Amino acid sequence: MKIGFIGLGNMGGPMAANLAKAGHEVTGFDMADVAIDGVSMADSAAAAAAGADVVITMLPNGQILRAVAADVIPAMAAGAALVDCSTVDVDSARAVDADAAAAGLLFVDAPVSGGIGGAAGGTLTFMAGGSADAFAKAEPLFDIMGQKAVHCGDAGAGQAAKICNNMILGVTMIATCEAFALADKLGLDRQKMFDVVSTSSGYSWTMNAYCPAPGVGPQSPADNDYTPGFAADLMLKDLRLSQQAAESADADTPMGQLAQALYAQFVEGEDGAGKDFSAMLPRFEKRGRE
Ligand code: NAD
């Protein structure tokens, strides 16, 4: 396939490289000056999209997605597919879907989980929204860049799944960190805490696979001085998307709301910016009950 790939950052770069390695003809564009193995670079988003069977975007947010989509949609041939893998708000995904449909294009919103390691290793999970035809066109590419793709429903359903998942993740990380901080103050050894909780009803991905306590459980960003991994800033972005969606859908999400407020305080009012989202543990450690 001829593929245009726009947004070649931490995630998009290795994803595009994997498509090129699998034999696809990939033309890339990024605002920054980047070079990716096997990918020829165009000098605009529209130039990367012209003549492509599939155009993939991997961009920071919904506003940038809408701006890039306005450039690339007129450059694409009818019947081609636009596949957005960024994490953005559901409204932006649906707006781009409507513009793509009006131009005779297929659209899939397909945010990912699996992080930078998953992007490099081709083991991402895609959660996709769009028509059956659109999903079928993108699926062979998901198979190269990832190990699993779930067709969640119509346009926007992929973003809905992503923000619900990450709302659980943010809430669970906070719960795990505050429990460790309480355990410390009760004089409980952290390894014993892990041994019990990781095999009891308090277990979770944040405890078992991404333990926020250094030296405990499998290797995680806590063992690397909380270098991200998954940055607290990005968790804040996703929690804001979840609360924006909850507002527009009139859903009651008190834990998500509180998690958003805590990450906002950590990132914008304290020293959380640039740290992994599991650095909530040293934050709680330093605090007492107010
Ligand atoms: P990144 O900042 O490394 O990459 C974004 C790229 O987009 C940058 O290279 C930037 O120069 C480029 N860009 C910005 N505006 C542009 C424009 N108008 N035209 C062309 N290029 C433009 O970010 P990332 O970590 O690769 O994340 C990308 C998306 O994936 C985000 O939506 C993020 O939430 C999501 N995501 C990230 C992770 C992760 O672990 N990093 C995991 C899952 C999902």
CA distances from 95 to 37, 70, 71, 84, 89 (A): 33, 11, 14, 12, 10
Residue 229, pLDDT > 90, answer no
Are 266 and 283 a contacting pair, CB within 8 Å?
A: yes
pLDDT digits (tens, 9 = 90+) for 242-289: 999 999 999 999 999 999 999 999 999 999 999 999 999 999 999 999
Q: Compute, in angstroms, the gap from residue 64 CA to the centroid of ligand 1.
A: 10
pLDDT digits (tens, 9 = 90+) for 34-93: 999 999 999 999 999 999 999 999 999 999 999 999 999 999 999 999 999 999 999 999
Residue 3, pLDDT > 90, answer yes
Q: Compute, in angstroms, the gap from residue 11 CA to the centroid of ligand 1.
A: 7
**Which residue, judged by its Cα, is nearest atom 16 of ligand 1?**
31
pLDDT band, residue 171 (cuts 50/70/90)? very high
What integer pLDDT is reported at residue 43 of this predicted model?
Answer: 97
Q: Compute, in angstroms, the gap from residue 227 CA to the centroid of ligand 1.
A: 18
Are 226 and 173 a contacting pair, CB within 8 Å?
A: no
Residue 204, pLDDT > 90, answer yes
Atom of ligand 1 nearest to the CA of 238: 34
- What's the rounded Cα separation, in Å, for the pair 70 and 232? 30
Site of tokens 């605090």: 287
**Which residue, judged by its Cα, is nearest atom 31 of ligand 1?**
60
CB atoms within 10 A of CB 195: 13
**Residue positions annotated with a catalytic role:** 162
- Ligand 1, CB within 6 Å, residue ranges: 6-12, 29-32, 45, 58-60, 64, 67-68, 86-87, 112, 115-116, 230, 234
What integer pLDDT is reported at residue 116 of this predicted model?
Answer: 84
Residue among 6, 10, 163 to mutate when testing ligand 1 (max atoms within 8 A of CB): 10
What integer pLDDT is reported at residue 117 of this predicted model?
Answer: 84
**Which residue, judged by its Cα, is nearest atom 2 of ligand 1?**
9
Residue 165, pLDDT > 90, answer yes
What integer pLDDT is reported at residue 115 of this predicted model?
Answer: 83
**pTM listed for this prediction:** 0.92
Average pLDDT, the chain: 97
∠ CA 93-94-100, rounded to 5° = 90
Q: Compute, in angstroms, the gap from residue 61 CA to the centroid of ligand 1.
A: 8
H or E segment at 44? none
Residue among 30, 72, 237, 277 to mutate when testing ligand 1 (max atoms within 8 A of CB): 30
pLDDT digits (tens, 9 = 90+) for 86-121: 999 999 999 999 999 999 999 999 999 988 889 999
